[in-house]
DNA sequence: TAGATTGTTAATCGATTAACAATC
DNA sequence: TAGATTGTTAATCGATTAACAATC
């Protein structure tokens, strides 16, 4: 019984549904249907209804879904009806851009700690947030009870950083380094190597 | 017969295999097995062998795979045994970091054009590469016969940029903007919204 | 009411895994 | 040879889709 009742692949689609609902809501739209949502996302309406049915009944026959209600429900299901404090390790060009990225706002996450090992960076600030010494990573993560970390260090150091984070109680790691992290059961890791995504497309060129 | 003989999901794993092989090769390793590779990636050895079997026989019974040979074959299959010229549209913080990212090297891609619409950026350079006026996007892409584009503009503009790129002959789009792009059949798009990946993990927290 | 859309079932489709003969 | 690992088959497992009763 290590596996959850709801398939991973279903969970993986929920954030995409939520994002699309956010745009509809911003545009002032109040109601949508599985058919409309599916068209926008390139997914069948049956799949959307099936996915949602794992969690309850959120729509109304003949009408569809009230967008604000479905947003709330998806946020609750995904546990982003709160704000998770996120630590970012590695403040190179990419880490810097991630630290300044304002796309986390209102989507469940807030970068609240920055770490680097470069003495010329330690103590400086990005938008008021101080860059801390990576030597103190473990104790600081523990002290703040951080559960979510983003890693933007060079590939050669990413596994060690991940290991330290996990030791400090982190349960979710978003890894920008181009290497597959090995993590123990119960710990989640996601990988964001742009070249992997490019190569998935070049096959078809 | 719109679907290819090899499932998308298989193609999607090949870049991950290739990346792992690259690291093994860098470390001086010459031979690996489906079992070893599977352990490193958290994938069953049977799946790796099955995936590779779509394309030929690359191993030797009793021994495993010669890493250099498998690298070459995967590069050929993924069409990254060459260097694709990539245009990057949107040079904000994130685009700037992507432009300076050196992880594309030797993996099949090279950023060769930069575009932005901000007059204060147009004409300036990032590592020798000039930022061009986004107004000329379509004609410039056509002139250089660009097939691959990365989009790092605000979400509100991403679909329009994608439409323009496709009109100019682009077939593969890597989208950093937090919005699902709608693209016609035959055009590939991949999405890199970090929040989607964070939300896929927060469900399990 | 008539039309539309949900939630759900059952059937189809496709992917993963276990097992093993082949063979290095 | 003995041990190891591939490539492949068949079975299992899981995901997607089509269809429709329920109902707004």
Q: What is the DSSP string of chain B?
A: --S-SS-HHHHHHHHHHHHHHHHHHHTT--EE-HHHHHHHHT--HHHHHHHHHTT---EETTTEEEHHHHHHHHHHHTT-SS-EEEEEE--SHHHHHHHH--TTTTTTEEEEEEEE--TTTTT-EETTEEEEEGGGHHHHHHHHT--EEEE-S-HHHHHHHHHHHHHTT--EEEE-SSSPPP--TT-EEEE--HHHHHHHHHTT-
Of A103, A171, A201, the CB nearest to B178: A103
Contacts of A165 in chain B (CB under 8 A): none
Q: Is the CB of A34 under 7 A from strand C?
A: yes
pTM above 0.85, yes or no: yes
Quick: pLDDT tens for A113-154. 999 999 999 999 999 999 999 999 999 999 999 999 999 999
| Short-list B200, B170, B205, CA closest to B184 | B170
Contacts of B80 in chain A (CB under 8 A): 199, 202
CB burial of residue B90 (10 Å; 0-12, 13-18, 19+): buried
Contacts of A155 in chain B (CB under 8 A): 23
Contact B147 A192 (CB under 8 A): no
**Probe site for chain A from B159, B202, B205 (most A CB atoms < 10 A):** B202
Q: Which residue is nearest to nucleotide C6 (CA to C1')?
A: A61
| Short-list B50, B39, B70, B59, CA closest to B10 | B50
Per-residue pLDDT of chain B (205 residues; tens, 9 = 90+): 334 689 999 999 999 999 999 999 999 999 999 999 999 999 999 999 999 999 999 999 999 999 999 999 999 999 999 999 999 999 999 999 999 999 999 999 999 999 999 999 999 999 999 999 999 999 999 999 999 999 999 999 999 999 999 999 999 999 999 999 999 999 999 999 999 999 999 999 9
Contact B97 A94 (CB under 8 A): yes
Contact A16 B80 (CB under 8 A): no
The ranges of chain A with pLDDT < 70 are: 1-4
Query: Angle CA(B47)–CA(B51)–CA(B57) in degrees, nearest 5?
Result: 115
Q: Is the CB of A47 under 7 A from strand C?
A: no
Contact B180 A40 (CB under 8 A): yes
Q: Is the CB of A44 under 7 A from strand D?
A: yes
Closest-approach nucleotide to residue B37, Cα vs C1' = D5
Tokens 């079992």 correspond to B35
Contacts of B103 in chain A (CB under 8 A): 178, 193-195
Whole-angstrom distance, CA of residue B10 vs CA of residue B17: 11
- Measured between CA atoms, the residue of chain A closest to residue B5 is A204
């Amino acid at each position: 019984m290590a596996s959850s009742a709801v398939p991973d692949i279903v969970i993986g689609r929920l954030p995409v549904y939520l994002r699309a609902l956010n745009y509809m809501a911003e545009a002032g739209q109040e109601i949508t249907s599985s058919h409309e949502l599916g068209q926008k996302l390139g997914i069948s309406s049956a799949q959307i209804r099936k996915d949602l049915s794992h969690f309850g009944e959120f729509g109304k026959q003949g009408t569809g879904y009230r967008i604000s209600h479905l947003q709330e429900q998806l946020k609750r299901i995904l546990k982003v009806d709160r704000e998770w404090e996120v630590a970012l390790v590695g403040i190179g060009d990419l880490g810097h851009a991630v630290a300044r990225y304002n796309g986390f706002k209102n989507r469940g996450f807030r970068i609240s700690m920055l770490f680097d090992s470069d003495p010329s960076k330690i103590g400086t600030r990005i938008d008021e947030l101080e860059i801390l010494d990576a030597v103190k990573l473990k104790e600081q993560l523990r002290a703040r009870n951080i559960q979510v970390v983003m890693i933007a260090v060079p590939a050669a150091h990413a596994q060690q950083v991940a290991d330290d984070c996990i030791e400090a109680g982190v349960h979710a790691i978003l890894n920008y380094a181009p290497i597959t992290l090995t993590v123990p059961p119960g710990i989640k890791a996601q990988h964001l190597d742009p070249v992997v995504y490019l190569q998935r497309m070049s096959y078809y060129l």
